[in-house]
Amino acid sequence: MNKKDLISIRDLSNDAILSLFEIANSFNSDLHKRLKLANDALMAALFYEPSTRTRMSFESAMLRLGGQVINMTDPMASSASKGETLADTVRIIENYTDIIVLRHPSEGAAKISAENTTIPVINAGDGAREHPTQTLLDLYTIFREKGTLEGVKVALCGDLKHGRTVHSLAQGLSRFGAKMICVAPHGLEMPADLSDRLIRKYNAEFVSYNSLQSAPLDDCDVLYVTRVQKERFADPLEFESVKKSYVVSKDTLKKCQSDTIILHPLPRVDELDYTIDDDPRAAYFRQAAYGVPVRMALIAAMLGLVNVSTLKENQVSEVTGVITDNICGNPRCISRNEPIAKHSMYKMPDGLLRCSYCEKYQEMS
Ligand code: NCD
């Protein structure tokens, strides 16, 4: 059997996502029971970037399944500080554990890890690229609160350029036929290569606004808010100029429907006013709590402890060919730092090339 990795939300079929939700429901009904399902399994949490919810909910999920956890949470205290490559690190760690959960600042880090280890790799965030497990719990929250994903209208608000949660979520929502309203300050809009791909592949519906004031919030079922991703800005002045450009407050909620839910992957900084926490529509703490049952279901599926059919998305590939030995132009791409990277580029229908690691579009070099 091929090893299962979760690098992108595209690695899961819609059916797999829905069956993971069913499994998560069953775990959620008695979360405090310590199961014996993963008694023989060990999980390594490799976190090269800060994390509270993702790492701890993964650890909690594995422990509740009956498994054990080893972790690396400070890259400066690991051999990465001596210059060890990620590929070498995961190659070694496969001897210590059964599954790797990885968070890394470089785009494509989970993919190169998966290529260089024989055990399953779960992407817990690779730079600004993707965060597929956050998307699973985001979709799960919408599904539980709204009863469906199909046709749901979701306003994605915030730093849509650098936010990996929204990059994965937009793909997941498009696949389930949800409609998206993008609300981002000037300069922080959703990357056009991603939205164009979703429109082409799934007929995705996007409409865009540059402020909460101008967006049709009275017409959405979900308002998904994200923080400005300070750590991704090359220019601190640029961050300063946008950091307080949107705030969801009691006044914002007045414009929403009485059953519009407010989601946020958290942590929040300035963009979600504390005064709305008591509003029943504020669902972000419920959303964060779902991280445990959803990650329990995912770990169990990836270790083959529960049966989830058609794990892979059954997709028609848009790729028309592959070019090798083409160095990626994205300075944040993992392939720039890992000597073992294959440097392959996919040829896309619009004549452009797409890096096989960071998925950024490039001109022919
Ligand atoms: C998100 C992340 O790390 O991308 N946090 C999380 O995993 N819950 C969002 C963020 O940091 O803004």
The residue whose CA is least distant from atom 6 of ligand 1 is 265
* Of 47, 52, 54, best ligand 1 pocket probe by most atoms within 8 Å of the beta carbon: 54
Catalytic residue among 4, 55, 103, 167: 103
Ligand 1 centroid vs 215 CA: distance in angstroms?
24
Q: Which 8-state DSSP code applies to residue 293?
A: H
- Give yes or no: 53 in active site: yes
- Return the closest-CA partner of residue 206 out of 260, 155, 139, 246: 155
* Helical axes 132-146 vs 53-64, angle rounded to 10°: 80
Domain chopping of the chain, boundaries: 9-130+291-302, 132-289, 317-365
Query: Using one digit for the tens of pLDDT, what is the confidence trace for 92-120?
Result: 999 999 999 999 999 999 999 999 999 99
Q: Is the CB of 164 under 6 A from ligand 1?
A: yes
Pocket lining: 272 vs ligand 1, CB cutoff 6 Å: no
Report which of 148, 145, 42 is spatially closest to residue 99, judged by C-alpha positions. Answer: 42
What is each CA distance from 307 to 66, 83, 301, 311, 343, in whole angstroms?
Answer: 18, 40, 6, 10, 35
Contact 58, 30 (CB under 8 A): no
pLDDT given at position 315: 64
Tell me if residue 82 is catalytic.
yes
User: Which spans in the chain are helix H?
Assistant: 14-28, 53-64, 86-93, 109-115, 132-146, 164-175, 192-202, 236-242, 250-255, 284-289, 291-302
* For ligand 1, atom 12: residue with the closest CA: 227
Q: Do 9-130+291-302 and 132-289 agree at the fold level?
A: yes
Q: Could you give the strand order of the β-sheet that contains 179-183, starting from the edge strand earlier in sequence?
A: 205-209, 179-183, 153-157, 222-225, 261-263
Which of 156, 157, 165, when mutated, tests ligand 1's pocket best, judged by the most ligand atoms within 8 Å of its CB?
A: 165
Ligand 1: centre distance to CA 265 (Å): 6
Q: Which atom of ligand 1 is nearest to the CA of 49?
A: 3
Find residue 102's DSSP bridge partners.
46, 123
Is residue 227 in contact with ligand 1, taking CB distance under 6 Å? yes
Beta bridge partners of 183: 157, 209
CB of residue 287 inside a 6 A radius of ligand 1: no
| Site of tokens 């990836």 | 302
Task: Give the 3-state secondary structure of residue 361.
Answer: strand
Superfamily of domain 132-289 in the CATH hierarchy: Aspartate/ornithine carbamoyltransferase (3.40.50.1370)
Count, residues in the chain: 365
Distance CA 358, CA 333 (A): 5
296 alpha carbon, distance to own chain's centre: 16
User: CA 184 → CA 120, 154, 207, 296, distances in Å?
Assistant: 35, 14, 11, 33
CATH 3.40.50.1370 assigned to 9-130+291-302 = yes
Give the model's pLDDT for residue 126. 98
| Residue 8: strand, helix, or coil | coil
**What is the Å distance from ligand 1's center to 189 Cα?**
18
Each residue's pLDDT expressed in tens, for the chain with a length of 365 residues = 367 899 999 999 999 999 999 999 999 999 988 999 999 999 999 999 999 999 999 999 999 999 999 999 888 888 888 899 999 999 999 999 999 999 999 999 999 999 999 999 999 999 999 999 999 999 999 999 999 999 999 999 999 999 999 999 999 999 999 999 999 999 999 999 899 989 999 999 999 999 999 999 999 999 999 999 999 999 999 999 999 999 999 999 999 999 999 999 999 999 999 999 999 999 999 999 999 999 999 999 999 999 987 667 666 678 889 998 889 999 999 999 999 998 889 998 778 899 999 999 887 65
Alpha helices for 269-363 (secondary structure H): 284-289, 291-302
Residue of 241, 286, 281, 250 whose CA lies nearest to 266? 286
pLDDT tens per residue across span 208-267:
999 999 999 999 999 999 999 999 999 999 999 999 999 999 999 999 999 999 999 999
131 given a catalytic annotation: yes
pLDDT of 362 reads 83
Which residue of 266, 270, 271 sits with most ligand 1 atoms within 8 Å of its CB, as the best mutation to test the pocket?
Answer: 266
Q: What is the pLDDT of residue 1?
A: 39
DSSP one-letter code for 284: H
Name the DSSP letter for residue 81: G
